[in-house]
């Protein structure tokens, strides 16, 4: 796995070698994998109702790996979010489930997903039928975490209800009027207007939303103007938001538009606002979470199973959760106390590979227990 996948990460939907690798592995287990959408893969184990979907993502991040591992990637891409481990665990789980196929009381549908990092892969697979034929009743995903106090190897944590934030991006283009720097009264300063917009947007979370309602409005980049001695006639703000509910998400959009347009008008400028929809909030079905936690006790010690508050991170598994009852489980693969000091999205991240068979066993256990409980 290390040489053929982790060492050669690929991005987004451009997963030619990754798809080939996963497909061949599934075929070697006696499965019949099929392509879904641009670069997704699915396969079925068992038959009949109910149907539980197990999901793993496959793509990487555009950063040079600096882990120092012998099998570190050298192509400028990096599995620093652990998607290679998700795929590894689900592949091993698929092997276990196939070997036990005769005893399954329903169907396990595998979902190997591209383009999670750009929040597009899950939706692409949904639009191309991953939740149909057979119809999916529930869905489960796991995500590895490391480099924190509570990410001990082989531990799990999850949330009942709202589990992860939404993420959206906005581009606010301010149009003013250029003039010579000695005659600013003849111009409309787009940069000054953009700065006032940036400051005012911070008011949304600090003054218009309860401190107990976790939301983020981040102006990550401001650019504008052409030369130092000219009143800038154009500027651009790039904004990201995170919300803990779809209601809050809609409120942030409304206020970003109102504030930006209002300030622009005050300063005699105009604005164009582009909303690049990201991923919705991820809702963990409480009943399914309860079932999974009970199931997990067969694999990991009870003191390594924890309920935690919702995360401000984002997962495009949320698109699946909008369609069917779902749950995302966070799986620990190395804590700070165990010597793993870097977390996800750090190019120096490492993890405890010995934990991965436990993760695979959890996938297989979740599916088997669910089908035993709800199947005929």
CB 287 within 8 A of CB 139: no
**Phi, psi for 76 (deg, rounded to 5):** 85, 5
- State how far the alpha carbon of 26 is from the alpha carbons of 8, 32, 51, 269, 306, in Å: 19, 7, 19, 58, 32
The residue among 332, 351, 338 whose CA lies nearest residue 144 is: 332
143 labelled binding-site residue? yes
195 labelled binding-site residue? no
DSSP 258-287: HHHHHHHHHTT-EEEEEEEEEE--EEE-HH
CB 149 within 8 A of CB 298: no
The beta strand positions in 2-83, using DSSP E, are: 34-36, 40-46, 51-57
185 labelled binding-site residue? no
Residue in this structure with the two tokens 């980049």, named with its chain if needed: 221
117 labelled binding-site residue? yes
CB 289 within 8 A of CB 218: no
Q: What share of the chain is helix, strand, coil (3-state, %, to 5)?
A: 35, 30, 40
Biggest distance spanned by C-alpha atoms of the chain: 83
Other beta carbons less than 10 A from residue 290's beta carbon: 12
CA distance 340 to 148: 8
Residues 6+ apart with CB under 8 A from 213: 244, 248
Q: Which residues are annotated as a binding site for Mn(2+)?
A: 81, 83, 117, 143, 345
Q: Which residues are annotated as a binding site?
A: 81, 83, 117, 143, 345
């Amino acid at each position: 796995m290390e040489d053929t996948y982790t060492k050669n990460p690929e991005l987004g939907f451009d997963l030619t070698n990754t798809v080939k690798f996963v497909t061949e592995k599934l075929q070697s287990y006696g499965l019949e994998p099929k392509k879904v959408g641009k670069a997704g893969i699915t396969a079925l184990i068992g038959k009949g109702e109910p149907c539980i979907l197990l999901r793993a993502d496959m793509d990487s991040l555009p950063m040079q790996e600096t882990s120092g591992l012998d099998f570190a990637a050298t192509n400028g891409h990096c599995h620093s979010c652990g998607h290679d481990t998700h795929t590894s665990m689900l592949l091993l789980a698929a092997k276990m489930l196939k070997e036990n196929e005769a005893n399954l009381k329903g169907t396990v549908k595998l979902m190997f997903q591209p383009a999670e990092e750009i929040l597009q892969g899950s939706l692409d697979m949904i639009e191309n039928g991953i939740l149909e034929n057979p119809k999916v009743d529930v869905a489960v995903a796991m995500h590895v975490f490391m480099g924190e106090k509570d990410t001990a190897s082989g531990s799990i944590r999850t949330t009942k209800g709202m589990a992860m934030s939404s993420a959206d991006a906005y581009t606010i283009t301010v149009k003013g009027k250029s003039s010579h720097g000695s005659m600013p009264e003849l111009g409309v300063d787009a940069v000054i207007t953009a700065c006032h917009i940036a400051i005012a947007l911070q008011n949304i979370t600090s003054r218009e939303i309860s401190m107990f309602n976790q939301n983020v409005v981040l102006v990550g980049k401001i650019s504008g103007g052409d030369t130092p001695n000219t009143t800038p006639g154009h500027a651009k703000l790039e904004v990201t938001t995170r919300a803990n509910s779809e209601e809050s998400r809609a409120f942030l959009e409304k206020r970003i538009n109102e504030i930006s347009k209002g300030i622009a008008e005050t300063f005699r400028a105009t604005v164009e606002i582009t909303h690049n929809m990201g991923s919705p909030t991820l809702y963990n079905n409480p009943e399914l979470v309860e079932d999974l936690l009970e199931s997990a006790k067969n694999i990991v010690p009870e003191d390594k199973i924890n309920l935690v508050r919702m995360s401000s991170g984002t997962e495009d598994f949320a698109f699946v959760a909008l369609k069917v009852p779902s749950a995302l489980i966070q799986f620990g693969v190395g804590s700070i106390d165990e010597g793993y000091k870097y977390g996800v999205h750090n190019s120096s991240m490492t993890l405890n590979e010995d934990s991965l068979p436990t993760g695979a066993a959890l996938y297989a256990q979740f599916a088997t227990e669910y089908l035993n409980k709800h199947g005929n």
